[in-house]
Each structure stands twice: as C-alpha cells, then as structure tokens.
Chain A
Amino acid sequence: MSQATAVTDATFESEVLGSDKTILVDFWAEWCGPCRAVSPILDQIAAEHSDKITVVKLDVDANPETAMKYQITSIPAMKVYRGGEVVKTVIGAKPKGALEAELADFLA
C-alpha cells in the first residue's frame, strides 16, 4: 500500500495549494494498472528526498472536481506544485530513473 497521504477535493486547497513545501500530487485511480505500478516508485522517491518533496495522492474517481480543474485526461499524472502553481507535469508510469530525471529540479 502506498505511504503517501491522500488529499481530496476538500483538502486540496489547504494541503497542496496553501503549502509552503514542494508537493507532488499523484493523480490515480483504483482501476488504473499503471498507477498501481508507479505508486511504490513514488513512495521510494518520497522517502529518499523527504526534505525536498512531499508526495500526496488524489483519487480522481472520488475527487472529480480537482481532476477536472487540472484538466487530467490521462493517469497516472504527477503534478508538482510550488506556491499554489503547477511547476511540472509528468504523465504515465515510468521507471524510477526516468522519473528522477524528470523531477531532477525538485530533488536536488
């Protein structure tokens, strides 16, 4: 099971947009096979870079408002937020090395 905190339509504002940290939101759903594959990799990245980035999860099934607001049309979608703004989007399950490379700016 994923270690990431779940955020919802109700908590997105305070926990993601209002946070003073760098937050990666993993937009996922139960029925998405590739989401399940990428989830443990995000857990590892979060554990290894806990001082740089916080990983949270948003279930698009239960939280359609936020998914729609950020125009999610493909999952897994990983969006990095800083100061309430999206600063990076990664789409699709990728191996750890490839994800780390995409997220390099936020992990260093």
Chain B
Amino acid sequence: MRQVIIIGSGPAGYTAAIYAARANLSPLLIASSVEAGGELMKTTEVENFPGFPEGIMGPELMLNMQAQAERFGTEIILDDVESVDLTGDVKRVTLGNGDVHEALSVIYATGSAYRKLGISDEERLSGYGVSWCATCDGFFFRQKTIAVVGGGDSAMEEASFLTKFADKVYLIHRSDKLRASKIMQDRAHANPKIEFLFNKTVEHIYGDTQVTGVGLRDTVDGTETTVDLSGLFIAIGNDPRTHLVHGQVDLTADGTIAVQGRTSRTSIPGVFAAGDVLDVTYRQAVTAAASGTVAALDVEHYLASLPAEILETASA
C-alpha cells in the first residue's frame, strides 16, 4: 500500500513527485511505456521555462525533472495504466502488465492528447505524410513542400522548425486570427519560407501510399482549392486525457477534470488532478509544474487528515 500514486510523467506529474517525495511520501509514479516525459519529449528548444536563460531542450528538461524526482525517492514505472478504481478509501491502479498497485491517494496528471482533423484518409496516411510530430518527422521533408494546420503556438513553432528542412511551409488556419503569442506569430510572419493560408479548412487529404496534396475549403466564400504537398503536420490543439476516469470523477463542460476552486481536489476524496488534464486555457510547462505542486501539497494535507481507522486498514 502506497501513500500516493502519481499517474503521468509530464511537468505536472514529475513536479508533484518532487514535492511528494520531499515530504517523505515515497510516491510511485506511473510514467507510461512509450510516452514517458510527455509532450515536451517531442519539442526542441524550450525558451520560456524560468531558470534557463539560454533555453533548454524539451527532452533534457524532462529527464532533469525525472532525475530530481528520483533523487528524493520517487519510484518510477515505465508502463501504461490500464484502469483505475478510485471510489473507495483505497485507490487501485491496474497497469498494462497486469500488476495492481494500491494507494491512499492518487494524483491524476495524464495531460492531453493531440486532436485529429477527423477527416477521411487522415488515419490511413498517418505516418505516410500525415504527422503530429514535427521534431520526429520534419527531417524527411527536405526540400519538400509541406503544411502545418493550426493557429496556436505549437503550430507556429512547428512551422518555423520545419523550415529548417522544407523549401516551403504553408500554415493553414481556419480563421484569420491566430491564437499564438505575438512573438511566435512575428517569427512565423518574418520567415520567408512560411506562407499563411487564412480562412481555410482541410477537407481532403490526397495520396495513395504517400500524401500528395490536400483539398482546402475557404470558410468565407466556400471556394475549394487543391494544394500539392508531401507532408501535413497537424497542430490543432489537444483534448484532456480523461478516458480512464470517466464515470468516476466529475468533468467540466470543457472535458477537463473538475476541481474545487484553486485546489486540485476532484469530486472523489483522495483523488487529485494536475496539469493539462484540468487546464485547456494556459497549457504551459510551468503552469503544469505549478499545478503538480498544488496537488502534492493537497495530498499531504489529505493524508494528514485521514481518520486513524483508514490508515490502519491501509497498513494492515
């Protein structure tokens, strides 16, 4: 029986682990089998995490956080959570390998999953020109024409990054207003290889064995056009990853996990949430880390307030 199990290994999960471990709670952190480190593992330079004036590579930042969590006694398992049973005083977490771990509390920090366009052929051509990871796949589009779909910071960052390889990068966005921060927009605008295609939605992806083009529709006048390209990078946002707790923990209208006020407390006592899984607004490494801190402190408080009989059952 554990005091706390942390599910997730992004900035929220690792920061919660650092705090919980320093509070002598010997946390167990389930990091996932192939996504350990979370979204930042797929990024390059992180320029806005305080304390790194020259910037730091996303994967390096995450390995640092992992090392820091381990240094204070966090146990990390590289497996995926298959299911959770959170309703009782003792929480049960079942892993992909069949192991069941029990704890008095759980911090749920599973982050979010990239959104799909939801059009035909997107799945079929995924890995054959359709990609969600510019840092993984950009390399294969040297001197090619490609496109990024999206209007946020990640779309701008991916487009700028991809110009290192591609001759031409279209930035396709459904409106003419970008959600991205000013500095990222300016950078993209100043890049001669990037051309904005505003007020356009992607209706079709063409290609037999590899992407050869996309069909766009103008959201203002309805005109349909075809653009020849060999890669389509999709960066249209993320959805909170809550499928494991559906039917157990209350969610908000946005699909995030509902928490009480500025705390991390969910609708179930002993279950806390942190990071992007409860935040569709800010979604920064540093806000996720802060949120992980809140969760660890809430866990400490919760454990201290548990009645003696629960603690006895737990230690029995």
Contact = CB atoms under 8 A, between A and B. Distances in A.
B127 A93 contact: no
A77 B128 CA distance: 10
Chief secondary structure at chain A's binding surface:
loop
Chain B, interface residues (CB within 8 Å), range: 20 to 34
Nearest to A74: B127
A60 interface: yes
Given A73-B210, A97-B96, A91 B80 contact: no
A96 B41 contact: no
Contact of B140 (A33, A41, A73, A96): A73
A94 interface: yes
Interface residues of A, number: 25
Contact of A29 (B59, B128, B139): B139
A37 B133 CA distance: 14
A67 to B, nearest CB: 7
Interface string A21-41: 000000001011111011001
Contact of B137 (A38, A74, A94, A95): A74
B34 A74 contact: no
A71 B209 contact: yes
Given A71-B210, A73-B137, A73-B210, A91 B33 contact: no
A92 B42 CA distance: 13
B35 interface: yes
Given A32-B136, A33-B135, A73 B127 contact: yes
A75 B137 contact: yes
B127 A37 contact: no
The B contact surface, by secondary structure, is loop
A33 B139 contact: no
Contacts of A41: 33-34
Contacts of B79: 95
Interface string B23-42: 00000000001111100011
A75 B96 contact: no
A61 interface: yes
A40 B113 CA distance: 23
Given A33-B59, A73-B127, A94 B136 contact: no
Nearest to A99: B34
B81 to A, nearest CB: 11
A39 B140 CA distance: 20
A34 B96 contact: no
B34 A37 contact: yes
Interface string A52-66: 000000001100000
A74 B35 contact: no
Contacts of B59: 33
Contacts of B231: 73
Given A60-B140, A73-B131, A75-B140, 20 more contacts: A29-B139, A31-B139, A34-B35, A34-B133, A37-B33, A37-B41, A38-B34, A61-B139, A72-B140, A73-B210, A73-B230, A73-B231, A74-B127, A74-B128, A74-B131, A74-B140, A75-B136, A77-B127, A92-B126, A94-B34
Interface of B: 33-37, 41-42, 59, 79-80, 96, 126-129, 131, 133, 135-137, 139-141, 209-210, 230-231
28 contacts: A31-B139, A32-B136, A33-B41, A34-B35, A34-B41, A34-B42, A34-B133, A37-B34, A37-B36, A41-B34, A60-B139, A71-B209, A72-B140, A73-B127, A73-B128, A73-B137, A73-B141, A73-B231, A74-B126, A74-B133, A74-B140, A75-B137, A75-B140, A95-B34, A95-B79, A95-B96, A96-B33, A96-B96
